[in-house]
């Protein structure tokens, strides 16, 4: 889902559907029983907040699919899935018999305490990876034990419970990194639509820019292709067929759209707008903006 709903908004809107006793005062970590958030009538999870804000580890029980750009992973029984806000995917349940558990956390959760961990440096969260792992019956017991312990600890009054929870998250991460990833199926007939959809989702996740110190990290067609684990030429071909525009044109149009928003709705200087959008050279930004809009940035702001 594309959007910028905060974790706090999610807790406020869905308090009735959350498991009893779940701690809501902490936005950077939580753990859930999946079946209690699964709407069996619509076949979807009640998780309306943006994935751009958090990392997620899911223990999935039931038939479903994990769709990554041009690749699909069929989950027949039990699997462990790791999700990063930097790589979009679609989770598609095959029936209403869905169980398991999952935890969510923001990057700063693991950069606290003595054992500071930077998630993007871990192999399991690297671009191009398909971090879905099939679990044997024995492995299910071990993974379930960790999740159940998380659920017990987050409800406890123990002073250092979040240090303990950090250790449990790391245990799940290392458990997954020792497993062999599930094999992906080749591109299916609707792969082009999925690639296009996930590209647009990934593009929109880069915005809004909320501070002049925040710099756009994905700017080129290759940047996006690498995140989606597809060849840059294939991504360009798909987008051209579906949208009529090249990858570079779509990215450029979105950057110009954001530039207009920042110039009209913020008090940032033109230099700050240029920097946030990835332009180190103000003259280059001004020249490009005028080429696309017929106005200089200052004239547009006036």
A 10 A CB-CB count for 119 gives 21
Q: Which residues contact 118 (CB under 8 A, 6 or more apart)?
A: 107, 110, 111
> What is the Cα–Cα distance from 93 to 47, expressed in whole angstroms?
14
What is the reported pLDDT for 119?
Answer: 86
Identify the three-state secondary structure at position 33.
Answer: strand
Cis peptide before 275 (omega within 30 of 0): no
DSSP label at residue 44: E
Q: Which of 293, 283, 224 is nearest to 259 (CA)?
A: 293
In whole angstroms, how far apart are CA 82 and each of 8, 125, 128?
22, 8, 13
The answer to whether 83 touches 56, Cβ cutoff 8 Å, is yes
Identify the three-state secondary structure at position 100.
Answer: strand
How confident is the prediction along the chain (302 residues), in pLDDT tens digits per residue?
223 344 555 555 555 444 444 444 344 899 999 877 665 555 555 443 345 678 999 999 999 999 888 888 999 989 999 998 888 888 888 888 889 999 999 888 888 766 678 888 888 988 778 899 999 999 999 999 999 999 999 999 999 899 999 999 999 999 999 998 888 765 555 788 889 999 999 999 999 898 999 999 999 999 999 999 899 999 999 999 999 999 999 999 999 999 999 999 999 999 999 999 999 999 999 999 999 999 999 999 98
Domains of the chain are 7-177 (2.60.120), 191-301 (1.10.10.60)
> What b/e sequence results for 73-102 when a residue is b if at least 16 CB atoms lie within 10 Å of its CB, and e otherwise?
bebeebbbbbbbbbbbbebebeeeebebbb
* C-alpha 137: how far from chain center: 29
> What is the Cα–Cα distance from 289 to 20, expressed in whole angstroms?
52
Cα dihedral 74, 75, 81, 84 sign = positive
What is the reported pLDDT for 2?
Answer: 29
Conformational region of residue 106, where left means phi above 0, alpha means psi within -120 to 50, and beta covers everything else? beta
The model's pLDDT over 61-82, given as tens digits with 9 standing for 90+, comes to: 999 999 888 888 999 989 999 9
Structure tokens at 272: 């700050």
What is the reported pLDDT for 11?
Answer: 52
> What is the Cα–Cα distance from 285 to 271, expressed in whole angstroms?
9
Q: Which of 41, 53, 48, 43 is nearest to 18 (CA)?
A: 48
Dmax over Cα atoms in the chain, in whole Å?
A: 66
What is the reported pLDDT for 51?
Answer: 52
The model's pLDDT over 154-186, given as tens digits with 9 standing for 90+, comes to: 999 999 899 999 999 999 999 999 998 888 765
* CB-neighbour burial class of residue 20 (10 A; exposed 0-12, middle 13-18, buried 19+): exposed
> What is the Cα–Cα distance from 277 to 130, expressed in whole angstroms?
29
Cα dihedral 266, 267, 272, 273 sign = positive
């Amino acid at each position: 889902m594309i959007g910028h709903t905060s974790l706090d908004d999610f807790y406020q809107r869905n308090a009735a559907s959350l498991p009893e006793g779940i701690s809501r005062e902490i936005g950077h970590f939580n753990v859930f029983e999946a079946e209690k958030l699964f709407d069996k009538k619509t076949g979807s999870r009640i998780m309306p907040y943006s994935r751009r804000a958090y990392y997620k580890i899911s223990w999935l029980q039931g038939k479903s699919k994990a769709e990554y750009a041009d690749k699909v992973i069929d989950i027949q029984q039990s699997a462990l899935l790791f999700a990063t806000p930097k790589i979009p995917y679609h989770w598609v349940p095959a029936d209403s018999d869905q169980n398991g558990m999952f935890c969510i956390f923001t990057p700063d959760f693991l950069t606290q305490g003595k054992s500071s961990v930077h998630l993007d440096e871990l192999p399991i969260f690297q671009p191009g990876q398909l971090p879905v792992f099939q679990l044997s019956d024995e492995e299910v017991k071990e993974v379930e034990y960790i999740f159940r312990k998380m659920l017990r600890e987050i409800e406890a009054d123990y002073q250092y419970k979040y240090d303990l929870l950090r250790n449990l998250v790391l245990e799940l991460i290392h458990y997954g990194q020792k497993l062999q990833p599930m094999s992906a199926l080749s591109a299916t007939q609707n792969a082009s639509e999925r690639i296009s959809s996930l590209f647009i989702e990934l593009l929109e996740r880069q915005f809004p820019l909320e501070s002049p110190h925040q710099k756009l990290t994905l700017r080129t067609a290759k940047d996006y292709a690498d995140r989606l684990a597809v060849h840059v030429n294939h991504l360009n071909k798909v987008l051209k067929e579906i949208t009529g525009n090249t990858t570079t044109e779509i990215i450029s149009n979105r950057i110009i759209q954001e530039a207009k928003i920042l110039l009209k709705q913020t008090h940032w200087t033109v230099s700050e707008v240029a920097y946030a959008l990835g332009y180190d050279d103000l003259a280059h930004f001004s020249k490009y903006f005028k080429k696309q809009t017929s106005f200089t940035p200052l004239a547009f702001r006036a």
